[in-house]
């Protein structure tokens, strides 16, 4: 049975639950590639994305996504579901948040300001 919020309760997922679910995704699976939870993506981008280097940044970022089996995340045009029927974080939501955090981590401070309202990768 799904854990649905009762009246007055928030349906938001807390960060500790999200991190916990993301770490579960690192176990081998036939259907989904494992996610790097301790991967320092910033080390691959010595110059963060800004208004002058987007095409170069995009090319490298797409390579990283392909290398980790996450290229489909940025191609998805719909919002991933937040929770599964059992109330746990949906793996697609966790992957989307991971990629969004990578985008923010590899962006200049002026671009990060523009990304503040973004809640998904698309």
pLDDT for position 77: 86
pLDDT for position 13: 58
Q: Are 35 and 68 in contact (CB under 8 A)?
A: yes
pLDDT for position 27: 41
pLDDT for position 79: 87
State pLDDT tens for residues 67-114.
999 999 999 888 889 999 999 999 999 999 999 999 999 999 999 999
The angle subtended at Cα 102 by Cα 26 and Cα 121, nearest 5°, is 95
In the block, tokens 């690192």 appear at 26
Q: Are 96 and 120 in contact (CB under 8 A)?
A: yes
| Mean pLDDT computed over 19-38 | 52
pLDDT for position 34: 59
Closest CA to 82 of 94, 73, 100: 94
* 3 state SS of 49: strand
State pLDDT tens for residues 34-77.
555 557 888 899 999 999 999 999 999 999 999 999 999 999 88
């Amino acid at each position: 049975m799904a854990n649905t919020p009762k009246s007055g309760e928030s349906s938001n997922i807390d960060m500790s639950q999200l991190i916990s679910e993301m770490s579960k995704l690192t176990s081998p699976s036939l259907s989904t590639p494992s996610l790097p939870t301790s991967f320092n993506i910033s080390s691959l981008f010595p110059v963060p994305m800004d208004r002058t280097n987007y095409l170069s940044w995009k090319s490298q970022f797409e390579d990283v996504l392909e290398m980790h089996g996450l290229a489909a995340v940025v191609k998805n045009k719909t919002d991933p579901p937040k929770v599964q029927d059992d109330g746990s974080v949906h793996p697609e939501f966790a992957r989307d948040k991971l990629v969004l955090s990578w985008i923010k981590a590899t962006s200049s401070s002026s671009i990060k300001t523009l990304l503040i309202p973004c809640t998904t990768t698309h």
